Amino acid sequence: MGDRSTPSGLVLVEALINTWDIEADEDELATPRGRADFSRRHGLPEFPNSAVPELQRLREALRAACLAHAGVDIPADEMPAPLPAPLTLRLSPTGAAALDPAPGLPPVAALTARVAAAVAAAQADGTWQRLKACESHTCRWAYYDHSPAGRRRWCSMQVCGARAKMRAYRARRNANPA
């Protein structure tokens, strides 16, 4: 059936978006232990309590972009302001180029720069548009769309997709009682 994992460059972006479980209302970034676990899993420095608003702002900006990838209209006034991401350009002897976080950045700026570099690389290789957020208002989980046409709308057809289709079916049935 092929590889169904998220491309390696987007794993961090997907994981950052998924630090908030909307349905359970659990925010991994809101607790010191959650932030420490997230940092350890992704090779990041630990984030202090004062970084939580910036981390959440970055996460929700990425979620909005991924919702747009799934076809959800995001009003222009709801799109976040630009997020500063200081990057350096690294050139190899073979002529290859890569973006890296600038050295000496504080933790949130370093994460933002790392995310920006991953997004730029994914945009260049055509994978960025396939990182999406579930259309369900009670979910919004990030997932990588492996469907051939790239039109998937839910994180899981078995859960969120089935719920949406059942709601639509019931609405049609209630609108046309026979």
Residue 12, in any domain of the structure = yes
From residue 26, how far is each of 13, 21, 73, 123 by CA, in Å? 18, 5, 25, 30
Predicted confidence at residue 1, as pLDDT, reads: 44
Length of the chain, please? 178
Question: Does 117 map to a domain?
Answer: yes
Domain membership flag for residue 2: no
In a domain, 97, yes or no: yes
We report the CATH number of the domain holding residue 155 as 1.10.3300.10
Whether 164 contacts 136, CB under 8 Å? yes
For the cut 90, the answer to whether the pLDDT of residue 163 exceeds it is no
Q: Is the pLDDT of residue 31 over 70?
A: yes
Domain that holds residue 69: 8-175
Q: How confident is the model at residue 175 (pLDDT cuts 50, 70, 90)?
A: confident
- 64 domain-assigned: yes
* pLDDT tens readout for residues 54-92: 999 999 999 999 999 999 999 888 888 888 999 999 999
Domain annotation covers residue 1: no
Give how far Cα 155 sits from Cα of 96, 139, 160, 167, 173, Å. 35, 8, 7, 17, 26
The predicted model gives 104-114 an average pLDDT of: 96
Domains contained in the chain, number: 1
Residue given tokens 């046409």 in the structure block: 149
